[in-house]
Chains A and B, each alone.
Chain A
Amino acid sequence: MLRIGLGLRPDLINSLNALSEVPLQYKNRKEALKRICEISKDALDSYACTLTFVDIENKYLTQVACVGFDEEYEKRVSGKKIKLGLEKNGEILDFEKFAINDTIVINKLKKNGQGVANPRVAKKYNLDSVLSCPLMSNDRLIGRLNHFSPESNWFTGNDKKLLQIFAHQAVITIERFEHYRLLERSSSILNAISQNLLLSSPRDFLQQVSNKACELLDVPICIVWKLDEKQEKLKIVSATGNVDANFKRIELDLNASGVQQHLKKKVSYLADVTKDNPNYGHGKEAKERGWVSLLSAPMRVATKLIGMLDVYTKTKRYFKEWEKEVFCSFANYAALSIQKAEDITSRKRLEKLNEIMQEMSEVRQTDKLLELLLDRGLELIGCKRGWISTLDFKTNQLNILAHRDNPPNLRTLNIELGITGKTLREEQPIKVDNVKSPEWKEIYEEFWPDTRSELAVPILINKAEVRVGTEIKYGTKTIGVFNIESTTERAFSQADVDILWSLTRHAAIRIERLEFDRKLTKLAQIQKEIVGKQDWDDIFEIVQKAITDTLGYEYVNISLVNSELNCIKSEYVFGFPKNQVEAFKKLADHPLDSDNIQADIVRTRNIEVPANDDKRFDPKIQKRFNRDQLLRVFIPMLDSSNEQVIGTVEAGYQRNSREFIYEQDIQILQGFVDYTVMALKQRQRGLIDRISHEFRAAIVGIRSNASFLQRRINDLETALIRLKFDDILTDCELLLHQVKDLEYALGRPSPISKFEKTLVFRDVIIKTINQLKPIVLHDGFDASNILINPADIRKIDILYIDKAKFNQVIYNLLINSIKYAEREPSKFKIEIYAELTKNSIVIKFRDWGIGIRKGLEKKIFESGFRSPEAKSKNVAGSGLGLTISRKIMREFGGDLVLTNNSKPTEFQVIIPKRLKEVPHDTLP
C-alpha cells in the first residue's frame, strides 16, 4: 500500500522539540509555564496566548501564564483564581465553555466577552477571537491553551489541528516538569526528616512527619495513625492543620472490613469523602470539618503494618499517579522512621538509608542505579559480598547484572532455581541463616563455597496498576533480585531484611520512573522520525519498531478500517514468522459489524486487555497461529478531529514471566498511537490541499478557456481558437493523470489490466509529447527540441503492456523535464533513446534542465519528496510522480532508475522483455 502526503510544518517540529526541553531547562514553575505559552504562541504565530488550569470539580479557573500582554496585565492576572459561572462586575465566565473537552473557536469577544473573556480586557488588548484547546491528562481536563486574534473568524481548521498536536505534547511537558520538581522536593523533605530523627524526641519527630507530608503534597491536613498492636487499633499520634481534639479521639478497629480493605491497597484516593460513601474516610466527620479529597497510604516496614498516613484537602483535588507514588515512598520511609525513632543505631542506619535514597534520585540510568543499589546496599548491611540480577521477560531468565567480592561466573539464572528463584516467586525477602542446613541445602545454588548465610530481597513494585479487560487492577511488577551473602551463619537480622527491602522498593519505584522517562524520551525522538516520513508504509514500520524495541512488546498487529468495504483488516504485522504473515493477514479481515475483537474495539473505543478465552477472538486464528499464550492490549486509533476510529493497534507478549500488561505502559503506548494518528491525518490533509490545488488550477484553466471561447469566438483568429482548444485538451489530460496519481496516493490504484498491444512510440511517447506541447509552447520553448531517434522507433515498435499505466510513467517523466527546464529557451532540450539489451528494453530520457543535486539520487524516489531546486522552480506539485512511476515499472517486473544527475539528467525506463512475450490469450 502506498499512502503519501506532505509533512507537518517544520515550525511545529521545532516547537515540539523546544517543549521537550522545558522540564530540564526550568526549575521555576511559573517560568516553565510561561515558556510553554511562548512556544505555543510561536508555533501558531498568534497574537497572544494564555495557559489556564481548570479545576472542574470546584469550577475554578486559574490563569497560570500569558504572553502577548503587557506587564501590568500579566502581574494582575497571574495565578488569579476565578470562579466560573459566578457574576462579577457584570461579567460571567461560562463554566460549560471551559469544561468542554473539544477545541473551540469563539468570535466577537469585544462585543460581550462571549462567556470566555472579560470584554473590557478584550477591548483594551484588541482581542476578538479565541482558539481554545483542552489539555487532557488521562482523559481528564486539566486546563486549556488559548490563542487570541484581534479579528473574528481568524483561526482556521488547520490551526485547530496544529494546536491539538501541540496541546498533547504540552500536557506531557507539564506533567514531566511537575514530576521532576516533586522528586526534588521529596528528596529535600526526606533529608530534613532524616536530620530531625537524630535531633528530636519521638513525639516531636511524629509531628515533623505530619508537617512534612503536608509540605510534600501542598495539602492543608495530615493525620498520622499508629498501630496499637495489643488493642488492634489504629490511633492518631500526630496531625497537622486544624484537627480538633474530637477527631483525634477517633480510633479505627484494625479488623473492621472497611479498614482491612483500605489497608490492602498501596494507596487509596477518594475524590470526595463526603459523597463517595467510602468504608473508610470518616465521611461524616470530614464533612463537618469541610475536608474533601483524601489520599491515604498504609505505613509498613516490609509486610509489617506500623500505621497509616492520611492527607486531606479542603477542595476537590485530583492526585497524579506520580504524586501517589511519592506519597507511598514517603509513607514507607515514615514507617521505618517511626519504628526506629527510639533506637539510636537504627536512627543512624535510617539516616544512611535516606542518603542512599537521595543519591538514587540523582541517577538517570537504570543500570547505574542498580549498581548503586548493590554497592550502597552492601554498605548499609555491612557486607561486601552480593549480586544483583534483573528479570529478562523475553527469555524468562534472570540476568546477573553486577556482583561484588567476585564470583559469580554465570550470566543468567533459571528463575525456578535457588533462593533467588524462591524470592521471586513468593515476592518476599528470604533470610537464610545457614545455607548448608537440611532445609536449604537442596535448593541453595552455590557461587561462593564459603558462604554460610544469605539474604535475598526482590526488587519489585507491589501494587503496580495493570489492566485486566477494561478495568484497572493491581499486580506485581518484578524488576530483579538483590542477594547478599556472608561467610558467617545467622549474619542477617530482621532489621536488615526490613531496611534492605525498603531500599529495594524505593529503587524499584525509581527504576520504573526512569524507564518511563526513557521510553518517553525515545518516543519523542521517534515522533521526529515519523514527522520526516511521508509514506504510510514507512511510518508504520517506525511505529512497529518503536512498539517492539522501545516499549518492549514482542508482537504488533496494526489493523485499519476500510469504511467502503465496512471491514477492519490487518495491514502491518510484526512478531510472526515471515512465511506466516500473509496467511495471517488474509484471515485477519473482519466485517465491522461482526463480533470479532478488532471490530468490537472500533465500536466501543475501549482500551482492553482481553482474557485468552475471550469469545471475540477468531478461533481459526487463535489455533493456527498459536496465540493462546499471548497477552495483548488493544488500542483504538482515534482521529480526534472527527472522533472516528481509523483502526486498532494490538500489541502483546508471551505470558511467561509477565502476567500483566501494566497500565503505565499502556498509557505510553496510547499517547504514541494518538500522536501517530494525528501525524497521519495531518499528512493526509496536507496531501489533499496540494492535490486539490493542482486540480483546481487545471479546472480553472479549462473553464476560463471555455468561457473565453464562448464569449469571444467571433473576435478571435483561428490560430488562437485552436491554441485554446489545445489548452483545454491538455488540461483534461493533466487532470486524468492527476486522478491516477491520486488513486495511487490513496492506496487504491486500478489493478494492472490485461496487457494490450501498444505501439510504444506512436501510442505513448509521441502522443504524450503532443498532449504536453501547449505547456512547452507557453513556457516559450521549442517543441522540436524534444528529439527521438527514428531508428529507435523501429527498434521497439510494439510492446504488450498495460497501456494506461505505462503512459502514466512516460507522462510523469516528460512533465518533469518540462516543468524543471532551465528558464533560458535555448537551453531546452529533451532526448529520447531506446536500447535493446539481452533481457530488457531500455528507454532513456535525457534533459538539460535544473538537474538533481548529488546525494538526492535515492530521495527523489521517496513519496512526497521535492528537492529545494524543484520547489524553487515550481511551488505546487505533490512529489508523487517518480515514486509512482517507479512503483508501476516494478509492478511490471522492470524498473525506473536515475543514471545521470545533470547536464543531461538521465532516467532509464527498464522494461523486461518477457512483457513482449506475453501469452497470446491475453492479446486483444
Chain B
Amino acid sequence: MILFLDDEKREMDSYAKELELCGYKVVFQKNVDEAWHFFENNVDGIDLLILDIMMPPGSIFKKVDTREGLRTGVHFFERIRKAAPDLPVIILTNVSDYQLLQRFRKEDNCNFFRKEDYLPFELAEEVEKILK
C-alpha cells in the first residue's frame, strides 16, 4: 500500500490514479494529522510513503517551527523515520530549494523528486523500481 500525502489533492490526483491503474493500492491523505493517524494504525501495511513538503502544519506540528508550513514535510519525514526507519519514501514537491535537496540526499531509502520533473507514468516507473 502507498500512503500519498499532499495537500494539493486535485493537482496530484492523476499521479494517484496512475499508480492505482498500475495495480498499487493508494491511500491519499491531504493533511498531516489524518496521514499520521492513518500511518500509526497501518504501519505494517504501508510499503511506500509519497510526501509533499509545503503543507499546513496541522495539530501535530502546531508547536514546531515549520517556517509557516513551508517545511512541514521535513518534520513529517523525521517523525516517520523514527517510527519506521526503513520505510521507502519519495519526496515529491514543487520546492526547488537546493538546500532541501541536499538534506534529503543524505537519507537512506529516500528519493527527492521535483513534481515538474515527473509525469504520472514516470513516477509510477520510479515506484516500481523502488518497490521491486
The 4 A-B residue pairs with the shortest CB-CB distance in the complex, in nearest-first order: A875-B69, A701-B11, A708-B14, A778-B10
Interface flag for A704 (CB, 8 Å):
yes
B10 touches A875 (CB 8 A): no
Contact B54 A875, beta carbon cutoff 8 Å: yes
Show 11 residue pairs from A and B whose CB-CB distance is below 8 angstroms, ordered by the A residue: A154-B99, A154-B102, A696-B116, A697-B8, A700-B11, A704-B11, A704-B12, A775-B10, A872-B57, A873-B56, A875-B70
Check B119–A704 contact: CB distance below 8 A.
Answer: yes
Residues of B60-108 contacting chain A, CB below 8 A: 68-70, 72, 94-95, 97-99, 102
Number of interface residues of B (CB under 8 A): 33
Q: How far is the CA of A677 from the CA of B10 in the complex (A)?
A: 39
Closest to A155 in B: B99
Within 8 A of B (CB), among A770-822: 774-775, 778-779
With a cutoff of 8 Å between Cβ atoms, the chain A residues found around residue B115 in the complex are 696-697, 700, 704
Q: Are B11 and A731 in contact (CB under 8 A)?
A: yes
A875 in contact with B55 (CB, 8 Å): yes
Q: Roughly how many angstroms separate A159 CA and B98 CA in the complex, as a whole number?
A: 11
The distance in angstroms between the C-alpha atoms of A696 and B55, with both chains bound, is: 15
- Would A707 and B57 count as touching, CB distance under 8 A? no
Residues on the B chain within 8 Å of A720, using CB: 17
Which residues of B lie under 8 Å from residue A871 when comparing CB positions? 56, 68-69
Contact of B119 among A156, A701, A703, A872 (CB under 8 A): A703
Residue of A nearest to B72 (CB): A875
A250 at the interface (CB under 8 A from B): no
Interface residues of A in 656-712 (CB under 8 A from B): 693, 696-701, 703-705, 707-708, 711-712
Query: Known: A700-B94, A707-B121, A876-B54. Contact between A712 and B21, CB under 8 A?
Result: yes
Whether B13 sits at the interface, judged by CB under 8 Å, is: yes
Choose among A154, A724, A778 the residue with the greatest number of B CB atoms under 10 Å from its CB.
Answer: A778
Q: Which residues of A in the span 118-156 have a Cβ within 8 Å of any Cβ on B?
A: 151, 153-156
User: Is there a chain B Cβ closer than 8 Å to A310's Cβ?
Assistant: no
**A153 and B102: CB pair below 8 A?**
yes
Q: Which residue of B lies closest to A775 (CB)?
A: B10
Q: A704-B120, A715-B21, A727-B10 are in contact. Are A693 and B94 (CB under 8 A)?
A: yes
In the bound complex, CA of A352 to CA of B31 (Å): 75
A724 touches B94 (CB 8 A): no
Q: Is A874 an interface residue (CB 8 A)?
A: yes
Given A707-B14, A774-B10, A778-B9: A699 in contact with B98 (beta carbons within 8 A): no
Q: Is B18 located at the chain interface by the 8 A CB criterion?
A: yes
Among A153, A704, A705, which residue has the most Cβ atoms of chain B within 10 A? Answer: A704
Known contacts A711-B121, A774-B10, A875-B68: does B15 contact A704 (CB below 8 Å)? Answer: yes
Please tell me if the beta carbons of A700 and B102 are within 8 angstroms of each other in the complex: no
- The answer to whether B47 has its CB under 8 Å from any CB of chain A is no
Q: How far is the CB of B132 from chain A (nearest CB, A)?
A: 21
A237, chain B: closest CB distance, angstroms: 64
Q: Using a CB-CB cutoff of 8 Å, which residues 107-123 of chain B contact chain A?
A: 115-116, 119-121
Is the CB–CB distance between B99 and A697 below 8 Å? no
New A-B pairs, 9, CB < 8 Å, besides A698-B11, A712-B21: A151-B102, A156-B98, A707-B120, A707-B121, A730-B10, A731-B11, A779-B10, A875-B7, A875-B68
Chain B residues whose C-beta falls within 8 Å of the C-beta of A705 in the assembled complex: 13-14
Min CB distance A682 to B, Å, is 16
Bound complex: CA A712 to CA B99 (Å):
36
For A, the interface residue count at a CB cutoff of 8 angstroms equals 37
Q: How far is the CA of A715 from the CA of B116 in the complex (A)?
A: 24
Distance from A551 Cβ to chain B, minimum over Cβ atoms (Å) = 35
Query: B50 → chain A, closest Cβ, in Å?
Result: 13
CB nearest neighbor in B for A695: B94
Of B7, B11, B31, B58, most buried by chain A (CB within 10 Å of CB) is: B11
Q: B9 → chain A, closest Cβ, in Å?
A: 5
Residues from chain B with a CB closer than 8 A to the CB of A154 are 99, 102
A730 to B17, CA, bound (A): 19
CA gap between A708 and B98 in the complex, in Å = 29
- Residues on A facing B (Cβ under 8 Å): 151, 153-156, 159, 693, 696-701, 703-705, 707-708, 711-712, 715, 720, 724, 727, 730-731, 774-775, 778-779, 823, 871-876
Known interface pairs A156-B99, A693-B94, A875-B69; A701-B121 also in contact (CB < 8 Å): no
Residues of B within 8 A of A823 (CB): 31
Bound-complex Cα distance A708 to B119 (A): 8
Choose among B17, B54, B56, B120 the residue that contacts A693 (Cβ–Cβ < 8 A): B54
Chain A interface SS verdict (over half): helix
Inter-chain contact B102/A697, CB cutoff 8 Å: no
Instruction: State whether B21 touches A778 (Cβ < 8 A).
Output: no
Cα A699 to Cα B7 in complex, Å, equals: 16
Q: Which A residues touch B31, using CB under 8 A?
A: 823
Interchain CA distance A703-B120 in the complex, whole Å: 9
Q: Contact check: which of B9, B99, B116 meets A699 at CB < 8 Å?
A: B116
Identify which of residues 5-29 in chain B touch chain A, using a CB-to-CB cut-off of 8 Å: 7-15, 17-18, 21
B97 CB to closest chain A CB (Å) equals: 7
CB contacts (< 8 Å) of B56 on chain A: these are 871-875
**Residue on B nearest A699 in the bound complex, by CB:** B116
CA distance A134 to B64 in the complex (A): 34
Residue from B18, B68, B99, B121 whose CB has the most chain A CB atoms within 10 Å: B99
On chain B, the residues within 8 Å of A712 by CB distance are 17-18, 21
A residues less than 8 Å from B17 (CB atoms): 708, 712, 720
B65 to chain A, nearest CB (A): 9
* Chain A residues with CB below 8 A from B72, complex form: 875
- A490 CB to nearest chain B CB (Å): 76
* Chain A residues positioned under 8 Å from B54 (CB to CB): 693, 875-876
Contacts of B58 in A (CB 8 A): 872
CA distance A613 to B21 in the complex (A): 79
- In the bound complex, residues from chain A placing their C-beta under 8 Å from that of B11 are 697-698, 700-701, 704, 731
> How many Å lie between the Cα of A439 and that of B103 in the bound state?
85
A700 cross-chain contacts in B, Cβ below 8 A: 11, 94, 115-116
User: Bound state CA distance, A697 and B121, in angstroms?
Assistant: 18
B120/A872 in contact, CB under 8 A: no
Q: How far is the CB of B74 from chain A (nearest CB, A)?
A: 13
**A213 to B7 Cα, complex, angstroms:** 69
Provide the bound-state CA to CA distance between A46 and B16, in Å: 37
The answer, among B18, B57, B70, B95, for a CB contact under 8 Å with A708, is B18
Chain A residue with Cβ nearest B106: A151
Chain B positions within 8 Å of A156 at CB level? 97-99
Report if A708-B120 is in contact (Cβ < 8 Å); known contacts: A693-B54, A731-B11, A872-B57.
yes
> Smallest Cβ distance from A153 to chain B, in angstroms?
7
CB contact between A872 and one of B18, B21, B69, B97 (< 8 Å): that residue? B69
User: CB distance B119 to A707 under 8 Å?
Assistant: yes
Please measure, in the bound complex, the distance between the C-alpha atom of A823 and the C-alpha atom of B9, giving whole angstroms: 14
B113 to chain A, nearest CB (A): 12
Q: In the bound complex, how far is the Cα of B7 from the Cα of A873, in angstroms? A: 10
Please report the C-alpha to C-alpha distance between residue A823 and residue B58 in the assembled complex, in whole angstroms: 12
CB-based contact A704/B68 at 8 Å:
no
Q: Which of A153, A698, A704, A715 contacts B14 (CB 8 A)?
A: A704
Considering the chains assembled together, what is the distance between the CA atoms of A876 and B94 in angstroms?
11
How far apart are the CA atoms of A778 and B121 in the complex, in Å?
A: 22
A705 to B14, CA, bound (A): 6
Q: In angstroms, how far is the closest chain B Cβ from the Cβ of A10? A: 10
Task: Give the complex CA separation of A153 and B100 in angstroms.
Answer: 12
User: Closest approach, in angstroms, between the C-beta of A508 and any C-beta of chain B?
Assistant: 50
User: Nearest-CB distance from A55 to chain B (Å)?
Assistant: 34
- A705–B97 Cα distance when bound, in Å, is 25
> Which A residue's beta carbon lies closest to that of B30?
A779
Shortest beta-carbon distance from B7 to chain A in Å: 7
**Bound state CA distance, A715 and B95, in angstroms?**
32
Q: Considering only CB atoms, which chain A residue lies closest to B70 in the complex? A: A875
The reply to whether A696 and B94 form a contact with Cβ atoms under 8 Å apart is yes
**Closest beta carbon of chain B to A105's beta carbon, Å:** 11
- Chain A residues within 8 Å of B55, by CB: 875
Whether the Cβ atoms of A153 and B98 lie closer than 8 Å is: yes
**In the complex, which of the residues A156, A708, A712 has the most CB atoms of chain B within 10 Å of its own CB atom?**
A708
Across the two chains, which residue of chain B brings its CB closest to A151?
B102
